Amino acid sequence: MSEPKKLFIKTYGCQMNVYDSERMVEAMQADGYVTTEHAEDADLVLLNTCHIREKASEKLYSDLGRLRPLKTANPDMKIGVAGCVAQAEGGEIMRRMPLVDLVVGPQSYHRLPEMARTGRKQIDTEFPTEDKFDLLPKRKALRGPSAFLTVQEGCDKFCAFCVVPYTRGAEVSRPLQRIVDEARDLVERGVKDITLLGQNVNAYHSDKTGLAGLVRTLARIDGLERVRYTTSHPNDMEDDLIAAHADEPKLMPYLHLPVQSGSDRILKAMNRKHTAEQYLRLIERVRLARPDILLSSDFIVGFPGETDADFQQTLDLVSAVGYGMAYSFKYSARPGTPAAEKPDVDAAVADARLQVLQALVTRQQRACQDAMVGRDVGVLYDKPGRMPGQMVGKSDHLHAVHVTDPAGKPGDLVRVRILASSSNSLAGERIS
């Protein structure tokens, strides 16, 4: 009996890519593959890419260069590129890197097993009429008591800096019952915490149900203890979803709501279709519904045309909100987007602004964590800690928490009193 073929997969970028990689692994396992942690042992090396920022694309080509000696040593090895860079640059990848055998876009990866069986080079970056989720095998790859679940894909917002509408397509919501069935299956196999994913997840609408209705439906599943969602757009933060944060206990007190800039002039240039004031008023409504909610956001500095005054308005917005965490990046032009045609801000200026913003966000994040000391929170254990008798898990607010609990095990959902705060985590003791 021959040994099974081996798959090595590397994932770049966001949580949706993590989810997609898990589904690709499951598809290949159903076709007889087993996974390996070492590319040199693999029959198929798959790079699941992100196209949001320039460095991610550059990293793909760098990694492909490092794979060349493996391909030379083992000509039978197949190398595949999946994800958003594959969707955007499929032909260019094949031209620039002849060692690549397969290129598959994020809407076509259910076809990967069939593509891998053939002996010829292939590109599949179509937007197929069939629903890939109907054709993928039942989920198997679970890493712990928490799981991602994609409920919506694509985006119709066409922000001037973003390639998602071009690489992921128009907004599409999965049918409610199929999501519920997948969630039930996850819970039956030990999952207690589900994060709902979408490029614009709060635009979810299916079977006359918005995201709030989906959250409430999932909350009725016995054994599912926590629900989160990401990533959201301010313009789709509807009243019933805000209300769900107030009255649905299983919806965790955490909201990632990207704003990108505090300058109305830059927001307009970005095609965000909201103002800084509208965003601030929305935050007020969310906090009125759930006073203890932890807020997170995304920021781009150095967007074309950004002045010192525009950047100061971003700092003013960050100071006004008080984020528990945030992700900030220097603008990176993506080919084919409207902003890519505009002159860049001087790189040194953008770098300096990024450092100032990140320092402010870091102070806010530390203040938020310090304020947790003395409070009792729920913690879902993910894994044992580095110290004997210690467990590590995530709090209701998504903080990493180290807990002294010799009897604890992964999957336990416990109450913990926070005793200390460090730069990136909290420490506490189990109280129940």
C-alpha to C-alpha distance for 250 and 225, rounded to whole angstroms: 6
> Using 50, 70 and 90 to split pLDDT, how confident is the model at 3?
confident
More confident residue, 93 or 207: 93
What's the pLDDT score for residue 124? 86
What's the pLDDT score for residue 130? 63
- pLDDT tens by residue, 171-198: 999 999 999 999 999 999 999 999 999 9
**Where would I find the H helices in 152-273?**
164-167, 176-188, 211-219, 239-247, 264-269
* Model confidence, pTM: 0.87
What's the pLDDT score for residue 53? 63
C-alpha to C-alpha distance for 74 and 76, rounded to whole angstroms: 5
What domains can you pick out in the chain, each with its CATH number? Answer: 6-124 (3.40.50.12160), 142-370 (3.80.30.20), 376-430 (2.40.50.140)
What's the pLDDT score for residue 261? 98
The structure tokens 């039942």 sit at 138
The arithmetic mean of pLDDT across residues 401-423, rounded, is: 96
The arithmetic mean of pLDDT across residues 265-292, rounded, is: 98
Q: Which of 47, 55, 61, 50 is nearest to 16 (CA)?
A: 50
Which contacts of 277-286 are long-range, i.e. CB under 8 A and separated by 24 or more positions? 278/234, 279/234, 279/317, 280/317, 280/320, 280/321, 282/234, 282/237, 282/257, 283/257, 283/321, 285/242, 286/237, 286/242, 286/245, 286/255, 286/257
- pLDDT tens by residue, 309-342: 999 999 999 999 999 999 999 998 888 899 999 9
215 has which bridge partners? none
What's the pLDDT score for residue 52? 67
What number of helices (H) and strands (E) belong to the chain? Answer: 13, 21
> Using 50, 70 and 90 to split pLDDT, how confident is the model at 59?
confident
Give whole-number Cα distances, 55 to 45, 63, 74, in Å: 21, 12, 29
What's the pLDDT score for residue 200? 95
Average of per-residue pLDDT values in the chain: 92
- pLDDT tens by residue, 70-88: 999 999 999 999 988 888 8
Give whole-number Cα distances, 427 to 184, 241, 372, 388, in Å: 32, 32, 10, 14
Write out the H or E segment, with its range, that includes residue 55: helix 54-73
> Using 50, 70 and 90 to split pLDDT, how confident is the model at 208?
confident
What's the pLDDT score for residue 56? 67
More confident residue, 215 or 130: 215
Answer yes or no: is pLDDT of 16 > 60: yes
C-alpha to C-alpha distance for 264 and 276, rounded to whole angstroms: 6
